[in-house]
Structure 1
Amino acid sequence: MTRSAAFALLATAACLAHATEGGGSTYPRGVENFRVGAVPPPGVYLLGYGNHYAADKFIDGQGDNAGIPGFKVRATAAVLRGVWSTKTEVMGGNLVFHSIAPLVNLKVSAAGNSQSKSGLGDITVGTGVAFHHSPQLHTVVGLDVSLPTGDYDQSNLANIGLNYLSVQPLFAVSRIDPNGLNADLKLTLNLNRRNKDTDYRSGNELFADYSVGWRLGNGWTVGVGGHAWQQLANDQSGGADVANSKTRAFALGPSLKYDNGKGWFFTAKLQRDMAVRNSTQGTAFWLKTSIPF
């Protein structure tokens, strides 16, 4: 990847989409943790997420530091997610609706230039069907849509929106044992549309958010978590493929959860990017909590 291409990628770096066109995603990689496949019983729930991401490197397609002078990304987000778990049955599961609204503060620096932006990022809406196969095994099949609602200008160094729509079919599974192994996996296929302002289309991607831990019997679960990210096709600019533009990354770090057994829980994890191609390499800290109504 050329230096000019790398700068183009940095233009829309964001907290919940760490890279950009040619190397990023509308999907918030690594966002999910324990209980991702276990939708709560029918009712209305408010979930809160907190995230801080810091990166000082942009990794090119060969796995080398692109060497962009003074490159830094610092992003913090507070995210509200409303979930309506209905009593409507579909194929033995219950119908679920949700929406996600991120408030983002982003600062990007590169080659002596710096810019900060704050505001509402790209909103996600979605629906799915939640299945409870046993007290230990739970799954979700769903479809999310990421909407281009965040502020965007192709001349900016920092953008909190990505300016294109993405459709996200997903599957999640959770194994929950009150005194043993807990494991979770969420698979998301991210189907990206074109950025009309730049005539650029990011290639479709596959994400896997995962966690594995051990429930200690007193409400606490300790383990590890992270994500894997693989872009399935090259980006396109003006309808033509952009060579060597596929992104990939893997992240791993410690993870924990506390559950009071009455519908309230929180999770926390720290994860470090590794095996990165065509994206930023940094460290993310995530918090998540659920409040039933």
Structure 2
Amino acid sequence: MKTTTTGLAHQLLLGMLCCASAQAAENGNISWPIGVNTVLNGVATQPGENRLYNYTLYYRADRLKDGDGRTSAVPVGADIFVNALRIDHGWDKTWGNTHLVSGLVLPVADISLRIGGQKSTTSAVGNLSFKPLIIGTHNDSHTFFQQIAPLDFDIPNGSYQSDRLANAAVHYYSWQPNYGWTWFANPALEIGGTLSAALNSRNRDTDYRSGWTLHYEQLLAYSLNDKLQVGLQGFYFKQMADDRLDGATYLDGNRVRGAAWGPQVRYTFKPGVAAVVKYQREVASRNRTEGDRLWLQFTFPL
């Protein structure tokens, strides 16, 4: 069985949801990189194009919420910095308005956790996210875009030790099917979202299995001109099944949920080259930390 301190550490790690690769942990953490998908959600890398995406996240939290949303009396804290690189390849073959994309994502994380009088830190590589099949499609008027990724997986290849409180990776696989859409209601108005799930295998070191989660990310944005866009974005997620330890339900299931919202600014330097800055304030958390996220994202063709 896990000690109380270790359990709290796992809940703290709920806050470090790495941009693009799963920074999952046991005790109900979600493996999907919640909060990253608020930019052109349905627009896939174009046919014949190689594209780099970079995601940088700083996360800070100083409170832990219980299953009823009350703040824990235990002093806790998390300071987490993550940088993740993603490379996509758009395959040349097209079928009308549909084409295929494949990609890889690899994060590096610097993590500092404080629980009571204990502190744990690490700087290491996280788990590889493998995206072998992304289906991109759009309508004839190029006002509605979709990308469907039924085979996204996180591979447990990163830095992990079962007796270390702060880990940059986890020791189990996660299947993450997802669907993103973008609608240009008019040339200036962008509305989009991403619906996803994360289904996790058992950690063979600890015999712990986190229950599967469902997530939704949303954007509403307006372009002031052909370079500058401002918007409001956020996310909501909820754990749909209980955590299990040694084959039995852990505690009362230890299900997590949370939400966040905040502003976003996108600047397009030239077509295909852009950067995004956004802030997310977490609210309505259960069985996890609650804090603040600051993101910097950019992309350009290779």
Q: TM-score range by the shorter chain?
A: over 0.9
Q: Runs of at least 4 residues of structure 1 off by over 4 A?
A: 2-5, 10-13
d(CA) in 1 for partners of 2:95 and 2:243?
Answer: 37
Q: Quote the sequence identity (%).
A: 28
Bigger Cα displacement from structure 2, 140-149 vs 5-14: 5-14
CA RMSD of aligned residues (A): 2.0
1:176 match: secondary structure: strand
Query: Which residue of 124, 133, 147 corresponds with 2:129?
Result: 124
1:266 — aligned with what? 275
**Counterpart residue number, 1:114:** 119
- Structure 2 counterpart of 1:282, from 269, 288, 291: 291
Aligned partners of 1:12 and 1:162 also within 8 Å: no
C-alpha separation in 2, matches of 1:182 and 1:76: 29
Matches within 5 A, 1:164-243: 164-176=172-184, 179-242=187-250, 243=252
1:47 aligns with 2:48: no
Q: Where does residue 9 of structure 1 map in the other structure?
A: 10
In structure 2, how many angstroms separate the alpha carbons of the residues matched to 1:279 and 1:268? 25
Whole-angstrom distance in 1 between the partners of 2:17 and 2:180: 23
Amino acid at match of 1:39: A
1:84 paired residue number: 89
Corresponding residue for 1:72?
A: 77
What is the TM-score of this pair, normalised by structure 2?
A: 0.90
TM-score (norm 1): 0.93
Q: Secondary structure at the match of 2:177?
A: strand
Deviation at 1:258, TM superposition (A): 1.5
C-alpha distance in structure 2 between counterparts of 1:226 and 1:137, whole Å: 21
Where in structure 1 are there 5+ consecutive unaligned residues? none
Structure 2 contact 278–295 (Cα < 8 Å) conserved: yes
CA distance in 1, matches of 2:8, 2:270: 48
SS at match of 2:93: strand
Match of 2:35 among 15, 30, 33: 30
Deviation per CA, 1:3-22: give whole Å up to 9, x if none. Answer: 55742524756452677312
Is this contact kept in 2: 1:26–1:162, CA < 8 A?
Answer: no
1:181 shift after superposition: 1.4
Separation in structure 1 between the aligned mates of residue 182 and residue 270 of structure 2, nearest angstrom: 16
Q: Which residue of 2 aligns with 1:136?
A: 143
